[in-house]
């Protein structure tokens, strides 16, 4: 392609509305254009990158025996009502765009395709002989994200590869899951990304596991905890660890103490000259279930620890049926204002004890009259602890479970693992923290959707069984931008060779020099014929401008038909290293072909 014929517009300055480097660079280099909040046009250079990423994804998927298809983006609401997700997706989380057609039928724009694919499986899979089966697609997804941001990283319209597999049993599912683990690792390695597979939260479905593939970058929205021995890595939402040992309490007899102005753990431990590990902290949350019922939650956890909201939400989802509900639609620490909507009398905030009475709650149809009481593992073994006295300005010390307080029945792990904690698999290993961009997620679904939609098969014994399912997603457009986030310098993008829009760019420093033009055009034609995807910068611009643009758009190899042509040579510059060398004109093609091979092949 000739730059003189392209829609080639680069910006000198950083666009005001872009925060992270990759977003700025893709805008500046003319890869993407913002059309609306979370809505972007993929311009020709970007589209080539996306096609390359898609091709790698296809090759790795096809190699596992998965088959490509294309499912509808317009999805009838009935399907989502069958799975029970219509209300959560359109109202609660509100992530699904929905619309009403001319026949007054409700439809959603596909944010994901479990419902559609399960309906197909229900109709078309009859026998164990048809299993296992794995279908995937590459398609634009729609999600009305609460905070669309960072360009393609979190769009409202984005490209995803999503695949769904069907199995007779868990064992078969696990095999495909392992294949996907390998396929995803291959994709990311081939795309030239530094990544880490991490254990991920699988929500309340439980399931036997899910793995996220994180591209390591400071701008990542996710936090990963890992150990240096390479044996443990998990999303902080899911991570587990050993808390620090509790210090023995100096209070050996139970007493109520006046502790004025000590609403926080820090203040009370300072006042009593005690360690936060001796404190039972009582944290209040407010959960709203999908049937509209509000439930107040009290968690007893050690004073030096924090509650992990995702773990807590999973525990509360397990209890949903007790409240006649299916899922949770919100989980918050209630503000003083919201507390007023349900308190019968004012709470001794900062001084709450584990046994705070239920009559603080003014229960009604919308508000459950009793606290859900969870005790975190960190305080089960605690002796002679400090905790609130249910009276403003007072704490108790030297308290014990089974004496002054009854241990709540539901013991949970809702503690947030933190960097610096010891690892469970080896306490000499210390958890470290890194930021990651989630580019892929593989998930053992089990029978959640097949049961909801009645998708069954007949086994060898002639029994009807629900299909066992897995699902596997890659954010194709997010992955492409992540590559930039991992690879750029002050002058622009440095594409990994495997996904660069073009391999090479031939730059003519002076288009008024006939010899420069002639050699450049010949090289341009021959490189393309030889399979080296090449741009020709034949614009009527100063050489400096052309070099700057070439650096900005990040093409791996730049070939300059400058002064060296008088010696039968051209200057070739590698974008990543900036190494420049003069190469005889008739060796350019073979040399660049070798470089491309070397840069992509050890990654295959
Ligand atoms: P996130 O936690 O980042 O919102 P998710 O858990 O909602 O992601 P999935 O539903 O598992 O994501 O989707 C599969 C993949 O699609 C993700 O791993 C991610 O790479 C990509 N993806 C999800 N949401 C977006 C988005 N709004 N914009 C771009 N890519 C996305
Ligand atoms: Mg999401």
Q: Ligand 1: which residue has its CA nearest to atom 31?
A: 475
What average pLDDT does this structure show over 9-27? Answer: 94
Per-residue pLDDT at 487: 97
- Nearest atom (ligand 1) to Cα of 154: 28
Beta strand pairing status for 557-560 and 504-507?
Answer: parallel
Cα of 141 from ligand 2 centre, angstroms: 11
Among 75-79, 119-123, 582-586, 599-603, which is the least confidently predicted range? 599-603
Identify whether the C-beta of residue 329 lies closer than 8 Å to the C-beta of residue 404: no
Between CA 374 and CA 356 the distance in angstroms is 13
Identify whether the C-beta of residue 217 lies closer than 8 Å to the C-beta of residue 483: no
3-state class of 516 per DSSP? helix
Q: Ligand 1: which residue has its CA nearest to atom 14?
A: 473
Does the pLDDT value for residue 363 go beyond 90?
Answer: no
Residue the block writes with tokens 């872009």: 18
Between CA 171 and CA 167 the distance in angstroms is 9
Cα of 110 from ligand 1 centre, angstroms: 13
Per-residue pLDDT at 16: 87
Q: Which two structure tokens, joined as six digits, stand for 63?
A: 């190699």
Number of Cβ within 10 Å of residue 256's Cβ equals 14
Cα of 532 from ligand 1 centre, angstroms: 33
CA atoms within 13 A on the CB side of 231: 9
Between CA 78 and CA 346 the distance in angstroms is 45
Between CA 288 and CA 296 the distance in angstroms is 9
Cα of 112 from ligand 1 centre, angstroms: 10
- Nearest atom (ligand 1) to Cα of 213: 18
Between CA 162 and CA 159 the distance in angstroms is 10
What average pLDDT does this structure show over 471-500? Answer: 98
- Nearest atom (ligand 1) to Cα of 439: 20
Does the pLDDT value for residue 604 go beyond 70?
Answer: no
Strand ranges in 477-603 using DSSP code E only, listed in sequence order: 488-489, 492-493, 504-507, 534-537, 557-560, 569-574, 580-584
Between CA 429 and CA 421 the distance in angstroms is 9
Identify whether the C-beta of residue 129 lies closer than 8 Å to the C-beta of residue 98: no
Identify whether the C-beta of residue 437 lies closer than 8 Å to the C-beta of residue 222: yes
Between CA 167 and CA 131 the distance in angstroms is 6
Per-residue pLDDT at 272: 96
Using 50, 70 and 90 to split pLDDT, how confident is the model at 285?
Answer: very high
Choice between 519 and 94, residue whose per-residue pLDDT is larger: 519
What average pLDDT does this structure show over 172-193? Answer: 97
Per-residue pLDDT at 54: 98
Give which of 496, 441, 505 is closest to 49, Cα–Cα: 496
Q: Which two structure tokens, joined as six digits, stand for 547?
A: 């070099």
3-state class of 352 per DSSP? coil
Q: Which residues pair with 214 in a beta bridge?
A: 196, 438
DSSP state letters, 207-233: -S-EEEEEEE-TT-SEEEEE-TTSS-E
Give, for 443, the enclosing helix (H) or strand (E): strand 432-446
Does the pLDDT value for residue 203 go beyond 80?
Answer: no
Among 182-191, 248-257, 331-340, 569-578, which is the least confidently predicted range? 331-340
Cα of 410 from ligand 2 centre, angstroms: 30
CA atoms within 13 A on the CB side of 212: 26
What residues contact 57, with CB distance under 8 A and at least 6 apart? Answer: 138, 161, 187, 474, 476
Helices 170-190 and 44-63 pack at an angle, to 10 degrees, of 140
What average pLDDT does this structure show over 363-378? Answer: 94
Using 50, 70 and 90 to split pLDDT, how confident is the model at 326?
Answer: confident
The ligand that comes nearest to the alpha carbon of residue 95 is 2
Between CA 566 and CA 516 the distance in angstroms is 10
Among 206-210, 252-256, 350-354, 474-478, which is the least confidently predicted range? 206-210
Does the pLDDT value for residue 49 go beyond 80?
Answer: yes
Residue the block writes with tokens 């992540």: 482
Give exposure, 495-511, as e/b (b: 16+ Cβ within 10 Å). bbbbbbbbbbbbbbbeb
Residue the block writes with tokens 């929500």: 203
Cα of 155 from ligand 1 centre, angstroms: 9
What is the CB < 6 Å shell around ligand 1?
112, 143, 145, 154-155, 158, 160, 438-441, 473, 475, 477-478
Helices 44-63 and 476-486 pack at an angle, to 10 degrees, of 110
Does the pLDDT value for residue 208 go beyond 70?
Answer: no
DSSP state letters, 270-337: HHHT--GGGBEEEEEEEEEETTS-EEEEEEEEETT--B-HHHHHHHHHHTGGGGT-S-EEEEE---HH
Between CA 501 and CA 499 the distance in angstroms is 6
Burial class of residue 134 (count of CB atoms within 10 Å of its CB; 0-12, 13-18, 19+):
buried
């Amino acid at each position: 392609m000739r730059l003189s014929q392209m829609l080639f517009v680069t910006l000198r300055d950083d666009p005001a509305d872009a925060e992270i480097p990759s977003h700025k660079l893709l805008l500046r280099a003319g890869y993407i254009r913002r059309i609306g909040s979370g809505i972007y046009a993929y311009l020709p250079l970007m589209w080539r990158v996306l096609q390359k990423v898609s091709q790698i994804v296809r090759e790795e998927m096809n190699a596992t025996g998965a088959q490509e298809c294309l499912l509808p983006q317009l999805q009838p609401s009935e399907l989502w009502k069958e799975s029970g997700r219509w209300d959560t997706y359109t109202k609660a989380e509100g992530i699904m765009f929905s619309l009403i057609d001319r026949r007054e039928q409700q439809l959603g724009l596909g944010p994901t395709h479990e419902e559609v694919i399960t309906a197909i499986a229900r109709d078309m899979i009859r026998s164990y002989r048809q299993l296992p089966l794995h279908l995937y697609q590459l398609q634009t997804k729609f999600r009305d994200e609460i905070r669309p941001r960072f360009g393609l990283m979190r769009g409202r319209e984005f490209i995803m590869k999503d695949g769904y597999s069907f199995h007779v049993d868990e064992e078969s599912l696990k095999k495909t899951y392992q294949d996907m683990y390998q396929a995803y690792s291959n994709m990311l390695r081939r795309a030239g990304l530094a990544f880490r597979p991490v254990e991920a939260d699988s929500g309340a479905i439980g399931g036997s596991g899910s793995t996220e593939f994180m591209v390591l970058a400071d701008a990542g929205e996710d936090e990963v905890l890992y150990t240096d021995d390479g044996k443990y890595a998990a999303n902080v939402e899911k991570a587990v660890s050993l808390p620090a040992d509790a210090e023995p309490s100096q209070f050996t007899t139970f007493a109520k103490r006046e502790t004025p102005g000590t609403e926080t753990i820090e203040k009370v431990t300072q006042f009593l000259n005690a360690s936060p590990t001796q404190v039972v902290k009582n944290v209040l949350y407010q959960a709203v279930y999908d049937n509209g019922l509000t439930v107040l939650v009290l968690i007893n956890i050690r004073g030096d620890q924090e509650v992990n909201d995702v773990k807590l939400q999973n525990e509360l989802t397990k209890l949903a049926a007790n409240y006649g509900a299916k899922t949770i639609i919100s989980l918050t620490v209630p503000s003083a204002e919201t507390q007023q909507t349900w308190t019968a009398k004012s709470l001794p905030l900062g001084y709450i004890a584990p046994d705070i009475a239920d009559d603080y709650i003014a229960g009604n149809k919308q508000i459950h009259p009793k606290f859900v009481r969870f005790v975190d593992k960190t305080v089960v073994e605690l002796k002679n602890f400090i905790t609130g006295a249910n009276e403003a300005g007072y704490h108790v010390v030297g308290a014990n479970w089974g004496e002054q307080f009854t241990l709540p029945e539901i013991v949970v792990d809702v503690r947030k693992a933190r960097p610096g904690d010891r690892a469970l698999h080896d306490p000499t290993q210390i958890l470290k923290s890194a930021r990651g961009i989630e580019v892929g997620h593989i998930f053992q679904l089990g029978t959640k959707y097949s049961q909801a939609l009645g998708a069954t098969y007949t086994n060898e014994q002639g029994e009807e069984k629900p299909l066992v399912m897995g699902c596997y997603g890659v954010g194709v457009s997010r992955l492409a931008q992540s590559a930039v986030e991992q690879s750029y310098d002050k002058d622009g993008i440095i594409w990994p060779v495997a996904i660069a829009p073009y391999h090479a760019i031939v730059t003519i420093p002076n288009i008024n020099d006939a010899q420069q033009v002639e050699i450049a055009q010949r090289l341009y034609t021959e490189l393309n014929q030889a399979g080296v995807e090449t741009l020709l910068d034949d614009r009527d611009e100063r050489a400096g401008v052309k070099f700057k643009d070439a650096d900005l758009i990040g093409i791996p190899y730049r070939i300059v038909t400058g002064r060296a042509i008088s010696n039968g040579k051209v200057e070739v510059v590698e974008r990543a290293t900036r190494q420049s060398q003069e190469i005889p004109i008739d060796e350019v093609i073979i040399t660049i072909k070798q470089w491309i091979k070397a840069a992509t092949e050890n990654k295959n």
